[in-house]
Structure 1
Amino acid sequence: MFDFSKQDGPSSKCYFTHSILPNYIDPAQPSTKKKPFSTFLSQPFTHTADLILPEEIYELIRKELDGQIGTAHYARVYMSLGAVIARDFFTEYIKKGNIMMLSEGRPGVDNVFSLYGGVLKLELDRPTYERCGLVGKPIEDGGRKHKKARYVVEFNLRSPSMLHGKKGFERLVWACKNVLNNSITWLFHDLQASGDESETPILKHQPILKLASQTPTILPSISTPTLTSASLPTIYPPEASASLLEYLHLISLDSPRIRANDSIDPYLCRYEVPDIGDSGTLVRNLVRVRWHGFISPKLMRDVFLMALKKVGKGNGEGEEWFALHVSAFHGGAYSVLQVGRKDTLVWECV
């Protein structure tokens, strides 16, 4: 007999939002609760990010992208969890500074550790969790069969009670010394890095320095919808928002199906570029700028604000847009389409 049983794996969800940006955004302190800025912060650990925009807009921000804004420095380091909360490392990077770290491991399978915004997050299997003696919460498994129980433990290391000698902190120190004492590979990024890095605590762990620089790719003769604020609908059926997201993903993949000279047999593929607001399509040269590495939300925010300043500086109606497509280490992703200086379309896939 054939096994047609239903798969027990969870299905992914995609949330779509159309928001309006305010007239003025403070580049130094943008809103953390409004989209797309809340979306940037919701995904702290990114491995690949694509900026998609018309070639004319790219030329306006090319010099800035080649500078400090478009570059991210990070490191790969081999150290134990106990070394993260050691006195010098803990004081310099967590209490005084601001870093982000992500350990090796597969989420849902291995023990995975992360540190962002001063919050240390431990995702542990049940045997390790019971041996640690820490207080955490079970991870929801959706009632799937044969799914081993897992737990998450969080510590706000910037809390005044998180100090050496305090009872709660010493429980974490004990767990790091007696249970979580293996040296593992981490990705490390200092969000407040200064020019002088000659005597920082990370250097004694022999980090391997990495660079996540932008790589531009010219995409010639691309069929694009006429994207203007006037062409955007006020109500989005699920099919309309999904087709626009699909189009952005095809650009990110540099698919030949969106090229104006594509001549594939319609029997094999009948894909058509979405027509937004019945405004027709244009043939444009686009540019995909890609970052690959350990990327922070701050880089995505800075790139968004930089491109937002140049929107509307082109010559044609269809030039007033750009898009971001960002993929996280643990499977999440989001896409942001900015049309003009006001309309922001956001897709969050979880």
Structure 2
Amino acid sequence: MAPDTLDVVFPSDEALSQRFQSLKTGYVKHRWTLNGFIEYARPILAKGKWNVLALGSAANSDDVWCLDSRGTLSLAVGKETYEQLGMVGSKLPWKPKKEMHIIRIPLVNREYADKIQASPDLFTPYSEKTKTTLVAWDAKRVDATNQAIIPQVRRALSVRVPQLPLSTVPPTPTSEGTEDWEEEVSALFEWVGLASLDSQRLRANDRVDPYLAVYDPPLQLSVGDVMCIRWSGLLSPSFVQSVLNIALANDGSFIAVTGQAVTNSPVGYISPLPPVVLPALHAPTKDGEDTWSLVLTAPAGDNRDAGAKHWMLVESIGPYDARLG
């Protein structure tokens, strides 16, 4: 699915900040029947516009559903709801989630399901019977409201800023060199997280009691101003790509982009490749962990070709995601 929080951190640059702030996005918050939403979405999907994203839940229940960019509706339901619906679903493999099932309903056409390299029995076709069954899952429909997503812009003055570029691979094949590189990379991403939180620990004049907090910044640093721009809400993949496009076109020292995904969703990561495989099973959790952080920096010295970028990406994934194995 898509992130619900996106942070961009970079050395203070007003022109770059304005380019990020010029991006517009938003979403619609609507309370209606699930079948009502399906009838709304199917004509759009039939036109080949697979950029409809939605996340919803049943009233007074932990059951949730989502429509992803593949045009597939996925329901995550507990034992009672699963038995009432009588649909085919995939049981989650984790013991704490053993009574939850994922039900997949392609809203585009059956040919899509047949193209996926998995048993067709893992899918429930959207039929009149399915439509009737889902009525029991529905809540009352009320008017929709548009939710504009306004970026929050913060400027941190006189903070300790790491010196980049940093090699994206260990500089030497020795175990000692690899260990030093791993420590530098770990310190860099720790700094990115603290910058996104506007942490006092990054201030050049920070004098915190070591008994209260201890922070060791990256060894190579300077003092300067840093900007952080945050978008919060249901963000589409196309919007995230627009943010990345601006970051990739930047000629500055570095940019860090961090996305926190919607964890209360039946679908987690979806491969950008053609839809030929099912996404890994993912258990919706309200307080789950699914975060990625990308650092972009221009190569140093003679390797600084026009437009070239070095990059590093880290992910933090919760225990209920089959991508972990």
Residue 213 of structure 2, aligned match among 266, 269, 283: 269
The residue aligned with 1:23 is: none
The residue aligned with 2:222 is: 282
The 5 Å alignment of 1:177-196 reads 177=135, 179-183=136-140
SS in 2 for 1:210: strand
Question: Which whole-Å CA distance do the structure 1 matches of 2:310 and 2:41 have between them?
Answer: 42
The residue aligned with 1:296 is: 236
Q: Give the residue type in structure 2 aligned to 1:286.
A: V
Q: Is the 8 A contact 1:81 1:183 kept in 2?
A: no
Q: Is the 8 A contact 2:259 2:292 kept in 1?
A: yes
SS in 2 for 1:127: helix
- Structure 1 residue 325: deviation in Å? 1.4
Q: 1:231 to 1:113 in 2, by over 3 A?
A: closer
Question: Which whole-Å CA distance do the structure 2 matches of 1:105 and 1:336 have between them?
Answer: 35
Residue 63 of structure 1, aligned match among 8, 13, 18: 18
SS in 2 for 1:303: helix
- Structure 1 residue 168: deviation in Å? 2.9
Question: Which whole-Å CA distance do the structure 1 matches of 2:33 and 2:256 have between them?
Answer: 39
Question: Which whole-Å CA distance do the structure 2 matches of 1:112 and 1:292 have between them?
Answer: 20
SS in 2 for 1:311: coil
The residue aligned with 2:259 is: 326
Residue 259 of structure 1, aligned match among 203, 222, 236: 203
Residue 144 of structure 2 corresponds to residue 207 of structure 1:
yes
Residue 74 of structure 1, aligned match among 2, 6, 27: 27
- Structure 1 residue 324: deviation in Å? 1.0
The residue aligned with 1:217 is: 154
Question: Which whole-Å CA distance do the structure 1 matches of 2:58 and 2:103 have between them?
Answer: 16
- Structure 1 residue 183: deviation in Å? 3.7
- Structure 1 residue 337: deviation in Å? 0.8
Q: Give the residue type in structure 2 aligned to 1:158.
A: V
Q: 1:66 to 1:257 in 2, by over 3 A?
A: closer
The residue aligned with 2:99 is: 149
Q: Is the 8 A contact 2:6 2:258 kept in 1?
A: yes
Higher relative contact order, structure no. (Cα contacts within 8 Å, ≥ 6 residues apart): 1
Question: Which whole-Å CA distance do the structure 2 matches of 1:156 and 1:254 have between them?
Answer: 42
Q: 1:100 to 1:52 in 2, by over 3 A?
A: same
More strand per residue: 1
Q: Give the residue type in structure 1 aligned to 2:10.
A: L
Question: Which whole-Å CA distance do the structure 1 matches of 2:92 and 2:55 have between them?
Answer: 19
Question: Which whole-Å CA distance do the structure 1 matches of 2:294 and 2:81 have between them?
Answer: 39
Q: Is the 8 A contact 1:137 1:152 kept in 2?
A: yes
Question: Which whole-Å CA distance do the structure 2 matches of 1:131 and 1:230 have between them?
Answer: 55
Q: 1:284 to 1:233 in 2, by over 3 A?
A: farther
Q: Give the residue type in structure 2 aligned to 1:249.
A: G
Question: Which whole-Å CA distance do the structure 1 matches of 2:233 and 2:34 have between them?
Answer: 22
The residue aligned with 1:40 is: none
- Structure 1 residue 265: deviation in Å? 2.5
**TM-score if structure 2 supplies the norm length?**
0.73
- Structure 1 residue 290: deviation in Å? 0.8
Q: Is the 8 A contact 2:91 2:98 kept in 1?
A: no
The 5 Å alignment of 1:75-114 reads 75-86=28-39, 89-96=40-47, 97=49, 98-104=51-57, 110-114=62-66
- Structure 1 residue 232: deviation in Å? 6.7
The residue aligned with 1:344 is: 311
Q: 1:183 to 1:241 in 2, by over 3 A?
A: farther
The residue aligned with 2:121 is: none
Q: Give the residue type in structure 2 aligned to 1:245.
A: F
Q: 1:302 to 1:45 in 2, by over 3 A?
A: same
Residue 54 of structure 2 corresponds to residue 115 of structure 1:
no
Superposed CA offset, 1:220-248 (max 9, x none):
11101111155974446654443322211
- Structure 1 residue 213: deviation in Å? 1.8
Q: Give the residue type in structure 2 aligned to 1:346.
A: L
Q: 1:261 to 1:180 in 2, by over 3 A?
A: same
SS in 1 for 2:31: strand
Identity %: 25
SS in 1 for 2:241: helix
